Amino acid sequence: MPRKSKTCITILWTKLCLLWALCACTFPSFAQSRIDLDKLFLKKSSLSVAYGLSFPVLEFASASLGKQSAGYAQTGQSLRLCFSYETMPLLGIKLGYMQHTFPFHDDALLANYRILNQPATVNYVTVDDYYLQGLIIGFFVPLHYPRTTIELGVSGGFATANLPQLDFSVTSVTNTQQFLLPEATARDLVYMAGVRVKHQLIGNLLLTAEADFLYSEQTYTNLSLLVTPLRVQFLLPDYTQYYHAINVCAGLAVQF
């Protein structure tokens, strides 16, 4: 985990530096001609709120019977608050809060459990929603046009996530047993990369649209499975869930 996280951070920072250098080399006259933001009806700082959809991808969206890290996540919701400030013509910094929720694909898990537990009968499976929330800090390259700014950015931070509570029942020839895996929480690094467009509606009020990719690894420990009516508890090994999602949001911002 630590080595993999450091590698991800190095890759993100390398991409940021290359992107910044590319923009600085390709658009020198562009940056100089647009250094006066007042003439474009734009300002250096903004505070925004955005809401939209979050689409799980890769392992997080998988419902494959043979994939241990399958997340069974369905399309969810994304909410974020962001403060951004342009420190120089081709570099800005942003601070934000993000929150994501993802419904769990109960029916797909039920179908897989029925295959795995034959000839016994799995009566039902209920699973709560995923959530992922945290604080992030990042950098972006702003490209200015009249009344419009396009921001290409990367960010990272710490997020708290949950492994949802799982409840299911199995009936065999002799009896019916109920299994309960209580909700677990973890806190680890989260990374995001994407693009945001800000357009002036009127005065200092802006319309925003953004799309980004989210990645996080969360390892859950101290897991246990409760079985009734036997009243026994089984300790489970640590489990790592990979969170991958593409987020598409729209919102409003105030520039100052």
Measured distance CA(10)–CA(187) in Å, rounded: 20
**Predicted local confidence at residue 23, as pLDDT:** 52
Measured distance CA(10)–CA(22) in Å, rounded: 18
Measured distance CA(156)–CA(12) in Å, rounded: 9
The label of the residue with tokens 């390259």 reads 141
What average pLDDT values come out for the chain (256 residues) when binned by 10 residues?
52 55 48 52 87 95 85 95 90 94 92 85 91 94 90 94 92 86 94 94 92 95 88 89 96 94
Measured distance CA(86)–CA(145) in Å, rounded: 15
The label of the residue with tokens 């929480």 reads 185
What does residue 206 show for φ and ψ, rounded to 5 degrees? -120, 150
Beta bridge pairs of residue 213: 193, 246
> Which residue in 106, 93, 47, 102 sits closest to 74, CA to CA?
102
**Predicted local confidence at residue 67, as pLDDT:** 79
**Predicted local confidence at residue 39, as pLDDT:** 56
Beta bridge pairs of residue 70: none
DSSP 3-state assignment of 128? coil
**Predicted local confidence at residue 34, as pLDDT:** 44
Q: What CATH architecture is 2-255?
A: Beta Barrel (2.40)
Position 244, amino acid:
H
